[in-house]
Structure 1
Amino acid sequence: MPVPQQLEPTRRTSDTDYYEIVQSPATVEIIPGLRTPIMGYNGTFPGPTIVQNPGRRVVVTHKNALSVPTVVHLHGGTTPDDSDGYPTDFVLPAQTYGTFPTMPAMPAMPGMPAMSDPDAVVTRMQRDYTYPPQPRAGTLWYHDHRMAFTGPSVYRGLAGFHIAHDTEEQALPLPRGARDVPLMIADRAFASDGSFMYPAIDPTMRTTPGVDKPWVNGVMGDVILVNGAPWPVMKVDTARYRFRILNASNARTYQLALQNSSQGFTQIGTDHGLLPAPLHQDTVVIAPAERFDVVVDFSGHKVGDEITLVNRLGSDSTAAVMHFVVARATKDSSSIPSTLSRTSPITPSGSMTRRTMKFHRGGQGEWLINDQAFDPSVSQADVPAGSTEIWTIISDFHHPFHIHNATVQVISRDGKAPGRYDQGWKDTVFVNKGEKVQLAIRFSDLKGRFVFHCHNLEHEDMAMMATFRIT
Structure 2
Amino acid sequence: MFAVDDSLHRASPIHGGVPMVVHLHGGEVHSSSDGHPDSWYTSKGEVGSTFSSQNHIYINEQSLLALWYHDHAIGITRLNVAAGLTGMYIITSQKEQEFLPVGLPLVIQDKRFFDNGEINFPSVGILPDYHEQWCPKYYGDTILVNGVIWPFFKVLPRLYRFRILNACSARFLVLSLDKPGMYFYQIGTDGGLLPQPWNLTSLTLAPAERADVLIDFSGLRNGMSVVLNNSGPTPLPSGDIYQMPPMTYDILKFIVDEEEGYREGLVEGDYVSDIDFSSLLMDEKPLSKEDVVAVRTLSVVEWDDANHNPMIFTLDNHTWEDPIVQKPVEGTTEIWELVNLRINVHPIHIHLVQFQVLNQQSFSSLSYESGNCSLQVAYGENGSCFLEPAKDPYIYQRGWKDTVITWPGVVTRVIIRFSQRNGSAFGFDPSEGPGYAWHCHIVDHEDNVMMRPFVVTPNNTLAALVFLYRHSRKCTYHLLWK
Report TM bin, short chain: 0.7 to 0.9
Match of 1:437 in 2: 412
CA deviation after TM superposition for structure 1 residue 261, in Å = 4.5
2:416 alignment partner, SS class: strand
Q: Distance in 2 between matches of 1:121 and 1:145?
A: 13
From the superposition, tell whether residues 464 and 261 of structure 1 become closer, same or farther in structure 2 (CA, over 3 Å). Answer: same
Match of 1:110 in 2: none
Match of 1:352 in 2: 293
Q: Distance in 2 between matches of 1:301 and 1:220?
A: 34
CA deviation after TM superposition for structure 1 residue 244, in Å = 0.3
Match of 1:413 in 2: 360
**Is it true that 1:327 corresponds to 2:257 in the alignment?**
yes
**Is it true that 1:94 corresponds to 2:94 in the alignment?**
no
Q: Distance in 1 between matches of 2:123 and 2:331?
A: 40
The partner residue of 1:303 within 203, 222, 225 is 222
Match of 1:183 in 2: 106
From the superposition, tell whether residues 344 and 305 of structure 1 become closer, same or farther in structure 2 (CA, over 3 Å). Answer: farther
TM-score (norm 1): 0.74
Match of 2:374 in 1: none
**Is it true that 1:132 corresponds to 2:59 in the alignment?**
yes
Contact in 2 for aligned 1:183/1:243 (Cα 8 Å): yes
Q: Distance in 2 between matches of 1:87 and 1:210?
A: 21
Contact in 2 for aligned 1:225/1:321 (Cα 8 Å): yes
Q: Which segment drifts farther, 77-86 or 305-314?
A: 305-314
From the superposition, tell whether residues 351 and 221 of structure 1 become closer, same or farther in structure 2 (CA, over 3 Å). Answer: closer
Q: Which has the higher strand share?
A: 1
Q: Distance in 1 between matches of 2:267 and 2:249?
A: 31
Match of 2:375 in 1: none
Q: Which segment drifts farther, 339-348 or 132-141?
A: 339-348
Q: Distance in 2 between matches of 1:228 and 1:149?
A: 21
The partner residue of 1:393 within 325, 329, 338 is 338
1:245-284 matches, within 5 Å, as 245-284=164-203
Q: Distance in 2 between matches of 1:122 and 1:90?
A: 9
* Structure 1: stretches of 5+ with no match in the other structure: 1-24, 26-36, 38-65, 105-116, 203-207
Contact in 1 for aligned 2:160/2:267 (Cα 8 Å): no
From the superposition, tell whether residues 286 and 236 of structure 1 become closer, same or farther in structure 2 (CA, over 3 Å). Answer: same
* Structure 2: stretches of 5+ with no match in the other structure: 3-15, 233-240, 306-310, 362-389, 420-425, 458-482
2:327 alignment partner, SS class: strand
CA deviation after TM superposition for structure 1 residue 317, in Å = 0.9
Contact in 2 for aligned 1:303/1:328 (Cα 8 Å): yes
Q: Distance in 2 between matches of 1:91 and 1:387?
A: 34
Q: Which has the higher helix share?
A: 2
Q: Which of structures 1 and 2 has the larger relative contact order (alpha carbons within 8 angstroms, sep 6+)?
A: 2
CA deviation after TM superposition for structure 1 residue 75, in Å = 0.3
Match of 1:464 in 2: 450
Contact in 1 for aligned 2:287/2:417 (Cα 8 Å): no
1:59-70 matches, within 5 Å, as 67-70=17-20
CA deviation after TM superposition for structure 1 residue 285, in Å = 0.4
Q: Which segment drifts farther, 191-200 or 148-157?
A: 191-200
CA deviation after TM superposition for structure 1 residue 339, in Å = 3.7
Contact in 2 for aligned 1:138/1:273 (Cα 8 Å): yes
The partner residue of 1:77 within 27, 33, 40 is 27
Match of 2:460 in 1: none
The one-letter code matched in structure 1 to 2:268 is S
The one-letter code matched in structure 1 to 2:251 is V
From the superposition, tell whether residues 307 and 261 of structure 1 become closer, same or farther in structure 2 (CA, over 3 Å). Answer: farther
Please report the RMSD computed on the Cα atoms of aligned residues, expressed in angstroms: 2.4
CA deviations 1:145-170 (Å, max 9, x no partner) are 01000001101100011111145533
Q: Distance in 2 between matches of 1:183 and 1:231?
A: 12
From the superposition, tell whether residues 86 and 201 of structure 1 become closer, same or farther in structure 2 (CA, over 3 Å). Answer: farther
The partner residue of 2:315 within 347, 369, 384 is 369
2:445 alignment partner, SS class: helix
CA deviations 1:327-367 (Å, max 9, x no partner) are 11699634532544355642212743110111101367110
